[in-house]
Amino acid sequence: MIFRSTFITSFQYKFPKPIFFNGKSIRKPDIEFLYQLRPKDISQDVINSRGEEILDTEVLIKMDTLEAIVAGFSFFDTDVRNIYDNLKSKDKTINIIFVNSKLVYGLDHILGILKIINEEDQRNIKSNVKNVEIEFLLRICYTDQIKYALKSNFGDSKNKTFVVVLISKPESKLRNTLGFLSSFGIEDSNLIRPDITKKNYILDYFFKDKFKGNTHMLLNNEEKYLKFLIEKAAISLN
């Protein structure tokens, strides 16, 4: 059974290299299956019948020379700056991005922004922002203002739920950092998934003046909504 893809179409979204779930290479239809059939009413037997292992926690992504791990975390403490400093003290070469889980509208959202960053690198496009961590935050907050992005992402001092994006080479470094990160909280893949609460929050926080009320077509069309978010992320630094 193959389900209709929700991958971004505006950038002709393609993966030049295989995607790996838990270290296992899978085909695109399986990506669609694993990502879209994650509601709790889908039985594990149905998932197992596909012959692939379901992703419980993190996602390993390989895109040309870009390698990343994406994982949702519910941290024990609200001080993610301390967690960041601890991780950096272990390995300064890894890019570590903490994104408020309310700003992440599914795995496709994260992949779309990574695709933008990857294409910049492949085309040797020079960005005014030299730090990948900052660039990712600016794009997912649809702005070129660092202060606004930091406030939008870290403004809730009580928030403990984040989607963490680790970018580095080789893969072993990513997994080592993820293992160390696990000592600060509990992995939760539900934090990556899209839902109507996130959809409304993102529109209201970042695009309130552009869309009034909840009747806009973006609220009822997943493909158009994701396309809209990735397009806004793409032009945020122009």
pLDDT 10s digits, 115-149? 999 998 888 877 778 899 999 999 999 999 999 99
Are 17 and 63 in contact, with CB atoms under 8 Å apart?
Answer: yes
- Topology adopted by domain 56-235: PF0523-like (3.30.2380)
**This prediction's pTM:** 0.76
**What residue spans define the domains of the chain?**
56-235
Q: What is the structure's pLDDT at 7?
A: 33
Query: Chain-wide mean pLDDT for the chain?
Result: 78
Apex 234 CA angle, 231 and 236, nearest 5:
105
Distance CA 93, CA 53 (A): 30
Q: What is the structure's pLDDT at 111?
A: 94
Are 129 and 138 in contact, with CB atoms under 8 Å apart?
Answer: yes
SS3 state at 227: helix
Q: What is the structure's pLDDT at 216?
A: 62
What are the CA-CA distances from residue 42 to residues 10, 11, 21, 54, 191 (Å)?
30, 31, 19, 11, 18
